[in-house]
Amino acid sequence: GESVGLHLPTLSVQEGDNSIINCAYSNSASDYFIWYKQESGKGPQFIIDIRSNMDKRQGQRVTVLLNKTVKHLSLQIAATQPGDSAVYFCAERGWNSGGSNYKLTFGKGTLLTVNP
């Protein structure tokens, strides 16, 4: 049967601090990565994406860093606000097992809590 894991990695920060959320991906051939934010009971919202030919990309208050050598992705949130409290998860794009189509694989996520 299925196992249900309830223990997400958590990060607790003070309002105004910078947050860094990490993600280890599995496929060295993945060519595109996305970060999503999901608030409780809602669907995931797109935050930022990056292609494998880049190592850094900046958005509004967010920066994504990609280290292909160690297959690591991070999301940095500047001046974290209470409204940033949510689960953040990464996704990587690679080919499906048949090699006929791209497939997105999602991580389990990190719960960010911002304390006022």
Binding to another protein in span 33-62, by CB under 8 A: 34, 36, 41-46, 49
Q: Residue 93 forms beta bridges with which residues?
A: 32, 104
Contact range with another protein by CB under 8 A, out of 11-19, 58-66, 75-83, 102-110: 102-110
Both tokens assigned to 62 = 């967010």
Q: How far apart are CA 88 and CA 74, in angstroms?
A: 11
Determine the Cα–Cα distance for residues 82 and 13; give it in Å rounded to an integer.
Answer: 10
Residue number, 4 or 70, with CB nearest to another protein:
4
Which tokens hold the place of 16?
A: 């105004």
**Look-up of token digits 């949510």:** 86
Choose which of 75, 107, 110, 112 interacts with another protein (CB under 8 A). Answer: 107
Instruction: Give the footprint of another protein on this chain (CB under 8 A).
Output: 1-2, 4-8, 32, 34, 36, 41-46, 49, 89, 93, 101-109
